[in-house]
Amino acid sequence: MSVEESFELKCGLVLRNRLFFAPISTLSCHLGGEISEEDLEFYDMRSSSVGAVVLASAYVSQKGKAYEGGIGISHNRHIPGLNKLVRTIKKQGAKAIVQVYHGGAMTLYNRDIRKSFCVSKGSQNLNPTHLYDELTLVTIEQIYQEYEEAVVRAISSGFDGVEIHAASNYLPFQFMSPNWNHREDSYGGDLKGRLKFTKELISRLKRCIDKHTSSPFALGIRLSEVDTSLEAEEQDQSFKTTLLTIQELNDLPLDYIHMASSDCLEEVQLEGRTYSKSSLLTTMSQSVPLIMCGGLLKKADVVAALAHSPLISACRPFIFLPNWAGDILTGAKEIVIEERALTGVVRQELRVPRILWKSVKESKDWYMYK
Ligand SMILES: Cc1cc2nc3c(=O)[nH]c(=O)nc-3n(C[C@H](O)[C@H](O)[C@H](O)COP(=O)(O)O)c2cc1C
């Protein structure tokens, strides 16, 4: 697969090439979750060559909001700002997709929430000093509806698709993980039970999309490669569970599965043998295209990743190299992130929002990697 080839998703959406800008929470929204000037400038500078931008996680309800400064899609007042951002991205030929999330138990740092929802009270992942309400069938139904309403807002804002955030310990992940989920009803137990919430969510969102759209609109999902809440010696088992999860999702109306990984070109050891991680993951995903992500910077990395999966994404390279996708496509120069003084002038030149810039400065090596 060649990076500059176009790609048609099952829904009919045509991407001009194989490159996605992976979600990056820049924490630069207004307090009410509305898009700011900083957000618009950041994406304006980074959408000229990429196939699609996946806008970072947007909370579907106030009760699901995990952190301040994030994007809101929980209220109709968010639509005008989102629409402005969509137009900024799409005028440059890129498709615009928004990642939607509910934080579940991860909302404990949201000061407006006295009690967070949790999948089951028995989980050791819960903070003993925080209050939780275990999700009932009634509250689960309310959450499905909140996701559906968020999808309708995404459609009204002009997006080309939504991506369910089922990675990074957010609510669908909390259902899927045996560490978070000790439920004894049909939403718990074996992998089938633990996947019930996610599968039902996908089916409901697809029905909602079909009802409210007449043009192609993508439905994707983001999955973690492993359950980081498990011990190191359990990670092998966790990777195997991810493989089975991908297999289980194959029959569902998904346009893509977007993997979240720190290094997608790594090899993995399974039962004493060495495998390419990407090829194992792709083998499990027979009918849904995978987007591989993590640690891709140079053209050779992208070419290696595309040998296994049809689509790839990158996140950190876009911070210092706003036209990273253009550089990959032309292949004209060797791509490096040069060490530079992280001054305010450089921040303004790169249009990086202030809070993101602060974390870049604090973990410099992680951002200026390779
Ligand atoms: C500052 C920052 C914020 C991120 N926010 C999100 C997010 O909102 N949703 C998500 O799925 N991943 C998020 N990620 C993870 C990235 O999408 C990506 O998976 C990760 O950075 C590895 O890819 P990379 O090596 O190309 O950076 C974030 C990463 C960074 C650095």
| CA 223 distance to own-chain centroid | 8
Domain ranges, ordered by start, for the chain: 7-338
Q: Helices (H) and strands (E) in the chain — how many of each?
A: 14, 15
pLDDT, one tens digit per residue, over 300-339 is 999 999 999 999 999 999 999 999 999 999 997 889 998 8
pLDDT, one tens digit per residue, over 249-280 is 999 999 999 999 989 999 988 888 899 989 99
H or E stretch at 199 = helix 196-212
- pLDDT, averaged per 10 consecutive residues of the chain (370 residues), comes to 95 98 97 97 98 98 96 98 98 98 95 94 94 98 98 98 98 96 98 98 98 98 90 85 97 98 90 88 94 96 96 97 97 88 96 97 84
293 close to ligand 1 (CB < 6 Angstrom): yes
**Can you say whether the dihedral through the CA atoms of 249, 251, 257, 261 is positive or negative?**
positive
**Tokens 């007042």, located at residue:** 77
165 close to ligand 1 (CB < 6 Angstrom): yes
b/e burial code for range 167-206 (CB count within 10 A of at least 16 → b):
bbbbbbbbbbbbbbbebeeebbeeeebbbbbbbebbeebb
Query: Smallest Cα–Cα separation from 35: which of 2, 96, 77?
Result: 77
Query: Ligand 1, residues 19, 20, 24, 26: which to mutate, most atoms within 8 A of Cβ?
Result: 24
* pTM, 2 dp: 0.98
Which atom of ligand 1 is closest in space to residue 57's alpha carbon? 8
Residue whose CA lies nearest to ligand 1 atom number 28 = 24
**Side chain identity at residue 364, one-letter code:** K
23 close to ligand 1 (CB < 6 Angstrom): yes
99 close to ligand 1 (CB < 6 Angstrom): yes
Assess contact for 278 and 308: CB atoms under 8 A: yes
Distance 317 CA to ligand 1 centre (A): 11
Domain 7-338 indexed as CATH 3.40.228.10: no
Residue whose CA lies nearest to ligand 1 atom number 18 = 315
Distance 244 CA to ligand 1 centre (A): 24
